[in-house]
A and B are shown apart, each in its own frame.
Chain A
Amino acid sequence: MVNKEKHQAGTNKPPLKRIGRLHGVSTWTALVIVLAVLFIFSFVLGRYPISPGDVLKVLASHIVPAYHFNTGIINTIVIQIRLPRILAAMVVGASLALSGVSFQGLFRNPLVSPDILGVSSGAGFGAALAILLSGNQLAIQVSAFCFALLAVGISYGISKMVKGNPTLSLILAGMAIASLFGAMLSLVKYVADPVNQLPAITYWLMGSLASVGSKGLLYAAIPMLIGMIVLILIRWRFNVLAMGEEEAKALGVDTGRLRVIIVVCCTMITASAVCISGTIGWVGLVIPHIGRALVGPDHKRLLPVCLLIGAIFLLLIDDIARVVASVEIPIGILTAIVGIPFFVFLLKRGGRGWA
């Protein structure tokens, strides 16, 4: 007990307030500005050179009704090629970060990631199966989405049959189901044609935003937005849940119902994200820690901040993926390569994220 308290006192370093509180600018405002600048800058990157001014002019011509700026190829590249991808990076990053922070709050554990209930394994299997059977882009997306929901549904169903601590049984069921879908994915890979299908499966599993079309993005964005809005609206309740199952109940919270709402929302947004981007790790785990380092553990402030950091992080990673090498680097690889050193830095620093 004594040792533990000493340890806790030792890890309590002040938050990284200097970053957020420069000249009285709130963390939130600062992040919005960073995201806006990065958003415009991301259009400039790519093989075809476009100036930031032209980007603004093209975007303005689509927003302001009276304003026309149409230079053919630039318009096509900005609106049809780069815009869907930039938007996809932002919503996927925001989704993974938000479901990560929500699951960490729900399971009262800062080491939980959005994959905890098998959503990525389910999506991976669904995508691989669709690649094996058809190879149609939309079929892959739909199949990944459906199997992601199925995996979480089975996990939840199993946890309901188990007596005892509901969060623990949910995590255990999730781990089991993730392994099961992992095994089935291996089976699909084993029978897949090694010339065309196997590389397609492998590439999908590494995650990429290269093949995101505006239609696929639109379909995925609807469940994502619904899930995100609900989670943002109920975010203060995470503080109550963080007190523990029993205390939350004693504080008048219907924990069973709240758990269902959170699991459904997180699953909807993660499944939608994964089905357009493939599996992208580390975002959901690391971003909540960055968020806590910036604004502390209060979920009322933490959730919106994580949403923004997630969007910024994945947009930045995708920009790197697009330009750093002549061949595009799968984004799932980059999130790990950039995310892990950062995670180690945070671990070393300790403090606000860990109780």
Chain B
Amino acid sequence: MGMKLTVRQAEFHYDATGTSGFRDINFSLQDGEVLTILGPNGCGKTTLMKCINRLTELQGGNILVDNQDIRILPRNQIAKSIGYVPQMHQPAFPFSVLDTVLVGRAPHLGLLESPGAKDMKIAEQSLETMGIYHLKDKSYTQISGGERQMVIFARVLAQQPSLLLLDEPTAHLDFGNQIRLLHEVKKLADTGLPIIMTSHFPDHVFMVSNMVAIMKEGAFLECGQPDDIITENNMQQVYGIPVSIHYVDGPVKRKICIPVTDN
């Protein structure tokens, strides 16, 4: 813990004309901060996430982990600092849940090593943290989509990173599982672990984030506190639909964002 991520003048283009990708991305993130990146499909969110992790190389600017440029860090060093949960996980073989979580220990093990008793313990603790210890010996193909996402979360916890990247963690999940998963994200955030996630739902920002960035056509439109950024005006500008934002009291105690539809 105690890590600081700095993104400076980050730039990436898929083609020479610079029509896709992103540019001029600047922000920094510290312990206890949860940044959600909102934006329409194809605005560059996923690419930005991959660049932070150096799965894709930046074409301009820097990404610094504790003031060290990730370009000079070996891959396993990056993986020790940054955990990544991809949008879609499709394993080639039906590994058991425990074996899948153990894979999270990879950055801590040498080329010839395999997980030992200590790694096993860490993996089991991660399963307990996610509340899925009982699935330990199940095959990955025998469990539901929601449970699979929990397994991938347990795997990233076993990696023991000091920053989490979650690329649309609620994608493909049903309504209940989405909320359950966000609840887990919030619990992790409350331990002080800094998190960057992408989402399509302004409500998710109000539920878990204390920072939000709105991305459109490869640039940050706004970045700051959710209350200041998630406004009716901004949402309309980004998504092109009228929305209404309200504070809901009672058991909810947070803002909600609902589309305005005229029948």
Contacts and interface: CB of A to CB of B under 8 A. Distances in A.
Contacts of B233: none
A235 to B, nearest CB: 8
Interface stretch (A25-33, A54-62, A179-187, A245-253): A245-253
A179 B111 CA distance: 35
Contacts of B172: 1
A41 B90 CA distance: 45
A243 interface: yes
A283 to B, nearest CB: 20
Contact of A297 (B84, B90, B95, B113): B95
A250 B95 contact: no
Given A12-B141, A249-B55, A296 B86 contact: no
Contacts of A109: 92
B103 A239 contact: yes
B93 interface: yes
Nearest to B79: A252
A117 B242 CA distance: 55
B75 A253 contact: yes
B72 interface: no
B142 A12 contact: yes
Nearest to B165: A250
A103 to B, nearest CB: 12
Interface in A223-244: 233-237, 239-240, 242-244
A242 B86 contact: no
Interface in B109-128: 109, 111-115
Given A250-B84, A252-B78, A252-B80, A242 B111 contact: no
A352 interface: yes
Nearest to B77: A252
A292 B78 CA distance: 33
B260 to A, nearest CB: 31
B92 A355 contact: yes
A258 B75 CA distance: 13
A252 B144 CA distance: 27
Contacts of B115: 236
Nearest to A298: B99
A355 B139 CA distance: 10
Contact of B90 (A11, A244, A248, A251): A244
Contacts of A135: none
A233 B112 contact: yes
Interface in A272-288: none
B114 A300 contact: yes
B145 interface: yes
B93 A292 contact: yes
A296 B80 CA distance: 29
Contacts of A235: 114
Interface string B36-62: 000000000000001001010000000
A251 B103 contact: yes
Contact of A296 (B92, B96, B111): B96
Interface string B55-91: 1000000000000000000111111101110100111
A12 B106 CA distance: 27
A252 B145 contact: no
Contacts of A259: none
A197 B226 CA distance: 80
22 contacts: A9-B142, A12-B142, A108-B92, A108-B93, A110-B93, A234-B111, A235-B114, A239-B95, A242-B91, A244-B89, A244-B90, A246-B86, A251-B106, A252-B78, A252-B80, A252-B106, A258-B111, A296-B95, A352-B94, A355-B90, A355-B91, A355-B92
Interface of B: 50, 53, 55, 74-80, 82-84, 86, 89-96, 99, 102-104, 106-107, 109, 111-115, 139, 141-142, 144-145, 159, 172
Given A243-B91, A246-B55, A355-B141, 16 more contacts: A12-B142, A105-B92, A108-B92, A110-B93, A237-B111, A249-B55, A249-B75, A251-B106, A252-B75, A254-B74, A254-B76, A258-B111, A296-B96, A354-B94, A355-B91, A355-B92
Top 8 closest pairs, chain A to chain B, by CB: A252-B79, A252-B107, A108-B92, A252-B76, A236-B114, A297-B93, A250-B84, A251-B106
